[in-house]
Amino acid sequence: MDNNIHFIICIETLLRAVRAASNAGELVMRLSKKNLGRGSQPVPCLTLDMDLQTDGGIAKIVHDIPIKMLNRSSFGAFVEPRFPTAKVEIYMPPLKTFRAVTDRLRNVSPQIMLRANMRGELHISAADVSVRAEISFEGLATAQPQDREVNPEDSVSVKVDLKKLARVLYGDRMQSTDCIACFHEDEAVALHFLQDSLFTSYYVPLASLAA
């Protein structure tokens, strides 16, 4: 913990700066203090330095993004949760398709049941007193954990709140190419959004644990 620096940053501002660096050879990130306004006091910033190739040569671009430093007493709220090893790890269907499915099921119930197995099958269902709807996907790729042997018969069923799941699905700002769902039985569903060498992880509590 002594070697960690924690801070809060506006994700929209960071994403705009990173997109501007998409054609850069490399991107250097560093913490700094900058005067961002006339007569203002220096404020902590995450500074992004990049070199962009233009018709006239190389242009040096610097982005200074204000950040809010966190004190040590606040660190605990930002520690990644720890769960037992996921029983099932599976690549989700295309995100656009998965969002459309969950949107339709919101008309049936505020919660959905997810059933997945290591054979690459995912079943999504919702029910109320008068109707039940289920949509199935087969042939999905499965992740291959390095710390254990994969049993194709491993399966898991979890119930999640659709509002919480929707916030995650529509909160992905990276235009991710893949999403891996890790089912931690009796704990949570972890969704890992992948884009090239970057990934963002979200942890959706199970409905029975969400209160």
139-168: b (≥16 Cβ within 10 Å) or e: ebebbeeeeeeeeeebbbebbbbbebbeeb
Sheet bearing 111-117, strands edge to edge: 132-137, 121-127, 111-117, 155-161
Alpha-carbon distances of 10 from 16, 31, 45, 65, 161, rounded to whole Å: 10, 15, 11, 8, 27
* Predicted confidence band of residue 211 (pLDDT cuts 50, 70, 90): very low
Which residue type, as a one-letter code, is found at position 60?
Answer: K
CB 162 within 8 A of CB 110: yes
In the chain, what percentage of residues exceed pLDDT 70?
Answer: 92
More confident residue, 42 or 145: 42
Which residue type, as a one-letter code, is found at position 62?
Answer: V
* Mean pLDDT score of the chain: 85
* Predicted confidence band of residue 163 (pLDDT cuts 50, 70, 90): very high
Check whether 21 has a pLDDT greater than 90. no
Q: pTM, whole model, 2 decimals?
A: 0.69
Q: What is the pLDDT of residues 52-83, one digit of tens each?
A: 777 777 778 888 999 999 887 777 777 778 88
* Predicted confidence band of residue 147 (pLDDT cuts 50, 70, 90): low
